[in-house]
Amino acid sequence: MTMDRDARATAPARAAWTHAPSDDAEAPSSEPVSSTTATWFGAPAHIGLVAAALAGFDEESRTVSVQVGGEVVSAALDPAVEPAVVRTALRRHERVIAQREAAGWVVVGALRTTATPGVDEGDEFAIKARRIAMEAAHEISMVTGAASIVLRAYGQIETFAQDITTRASSLHKIIGRMLRLN
C-alpha cells in the first residue's frame, strides 16, 4: 500500500487517537480514523466541536445535559458562557456547541438560528429585560420613517415628527428656565 506525503505525515497523529496509552500498548494502527470520532481512553472522543441538542440545564451547578449522537451526557458550562444564553437556547430548542476535553464535555456557546438584535437585520425584535441601558459617547438616535428622537452628549434632546402628543395620567410638568411656544 502506498501513501502520499500528507497521509504519511498525519497517519501517526491519527493513530495516536485510536489507542489508550499503556505500557504494553501495541503499535499504533495505520487504519484511517474518522474525521469526526475516534477512541480516546476507551471512550468515543469527538474531535473538534459538535452541535448538540439540549436536554436540560442546572444553573446552580452550571451543568448542561446534552445529546451527542444518541447518548445524553453531562457537560460543564464554560465560564465565558452566560447562563442566560443556555436558558434561551433551551426554551427556543436551539442547539449548543460543545467539545470534549480531558475533564469531559464542555458547552462553549449556543448556535443561533434567528437574527440577533444589534448584529443582524430582522423583521421584528423584542427586547425584554429588567433594565436596559444604552450609552453613547456623542449621540443616540432613534429614527422611523419621518419621526426621530436624538439625544446629544452636550445636553440636547431633539424630537421631530409631524404630530407630537404627550400625556400624563397625573401631573404633567414642563420645567425650563425659558419656554418658547411657537
Short-list 43, 42, 16, CA closest to 30? 16
Instruction: Select the highest-mean-pLDDT range: 19-23, 28-32, 96-100.
Output: 96-100
CATH number, domain containing residue 89 = 2.40.50
Inter-residue contact 151 to 140 (CB < 8 Å): yes
Q: What is the tens place of the pLDDT at every residue in 126-147?
A: 888 899 999 999 999 999 999 9
Residue 159 placed within a domain: no
Short-list 120, 119, 121, 78, CA closest to 97? 78
Residue 119 placed within a domain: no
Q: What is the tens place of the pLDDT at every residue in 85-120?
A: 898 888 888 999 999 888 889 999 988 877 777 766
Cα 1 to Cα 14: distance, rounded to the nearest angstrom: 18
Q: Which domain holds residue 106?
A: 46-110
The terminus-to-terminus CA distance of the chain in angstroms comes to 92
Residue 80 placed within a domain: yes
Predicted pLDDT at 47: 59
pLDDT of 8 higher than 50: no
- Single pTM value for the model: 0.50
Instruction: Indicate the SS3 state at residue 63.
Output: strand
Task: Count structural domains, the chain.
Answer: 1
